[in-house]
Amino acid sequence: MEDTLGTVSSHYARHGALTARILDALKSAGKNTGALGLEDLAPLDQFHLRGHQATRELAAEAGLAPGQRLLDIGSGIGGPARMLAQEQGVAVTAVDLTEAFCRTAAELSALLPEAAAPAFLCADATRLPFAADSFDVVWTQHAAMNIPDKAALYRECLRACRPGGRFLVYDVVEGPAGDPYFPVPWASSPRGSFLVAAPELRRLVLAAGFHELAFRDLTAAALAWNRERQARMAEAESPPALGPHLLMGPEFPQMIANVGRGLEEGRLGLAMGLFAKPD
Ligand SMILES: C[S@@+](CC[C@H](N)C(=O)[O-])C[C@H]1O[C@@H](n2cnc3c(N)ncnc32)[C@H](O)[C@@H]1O
């Protein structure tokens, strides 16, 4: 287990001096790093399929209300957490396994003018450092695929959520056509990747004790988005200055090519679910 946590966090922390590299890239792209906004960071800090558009759609689906306490699990460098805090007025606590990501998340948040900054903590999602019933909404985008013990993950999500609260999950799932090609953005090899098919994800969340409000296969939307992204990259004279390659290094183009191939061949899928904790 500790071995898996180490494999996963070293996969993400592969490319050092993260905040400095991001700031240099923002300056080179002509951004004023003294007056950054969510949209400036969105090309690089929304580290999941369908980018910031997905986070906004999920926020609308979850029916968030200002003042709610939201826990973002596997928060990366904090893009979704900042967007939810600023646009929805929710009080966000964010946890992530990768220490370097937690540090960069806090450093980037300190550069934004709005004060609704999330609190970032370094912790393992299967052992959350919170009392039971602490949050109105528990939220996770693209983290379960790194977590082998999903029963423990969803049990912790249920425990952290207050009775009547919501749980939102948005994750890459296994497709019917076999294993993905590696590397992918979440894992260099099968050692860090723990995908389940969408029906199994849903079964695990229900088995933890949540009730289902909505569950959708979003693979077609992921495919369309990815084709558009690859077409844009093929047409561009040079690679984009801002993007998740700043986090993941020179292997990133290969990683997204493998995601594209995996989606096209039915090896990967995308699912979202909205659930409630019984009263
Ligand atoms: C692909 S990134 C997604 C980041 C963020 N949710 C987003 O959409 O921008 C996956 C994140 O999950 C985190 N993660 C993986 N396993 C975890 C665990 N056991 N506990 C907490 N975070 C974990 C990784 O460190 C990484 O930051």
Q: How many domains does the chain have?
A: 1
Q: Tell me which residue range forms the domain holding 144.
A: 2-276
* Interatomic CA distance for residues 104 and 23, integer angstroms: 11
List pLDDT tens digits, range 117-159: 899 999 999 999 999 999 999 999 999 999 999 999 999 999 9
At residue 82, does pLDDT exceed 90?
yes
Any ligand 1 atom below 6 A from CB of 180: no
Contact 193 CB / ligand 1 (< 6 Å):
no
pLDDT for 124: 98
DSSP annotation string for 96-129: ES-HHHHHHHHHHHHHSS-S-PPEEEE--TTS--
Q: Could you tell me the distance, in angstroms and rounded to a whole number, from the CA of residue 240 to the centre of ligand 1?
A: 23
Q: Report how far ligand 1's centroid is from the alpha carbon of 121 (Å).
A: 12
Q: 55 burial class (0-12, 13-18, 19+ CB within 10 angstroms)?
A: buried
What CATH number does the domain containing 272 carry?
3.40.50.150
Residue 92 in contact with ligand 1 by CB distance below 6 A: no
For position 1, what pLDDT does the model report? 60
Ligand 1 atom closest to Cα of 185? 1
Q: pLDDT tens across 200-249, in order?
A: 999 999 999 999 999 999 999 999 999 998 888 888 877 788 999 999 99
Q: What's the whole-model pTM score?
A: 0.97
* pLDDT tier at 115, thresholds 50, 70, 90: low
Mean pLDDT of the chain: 95
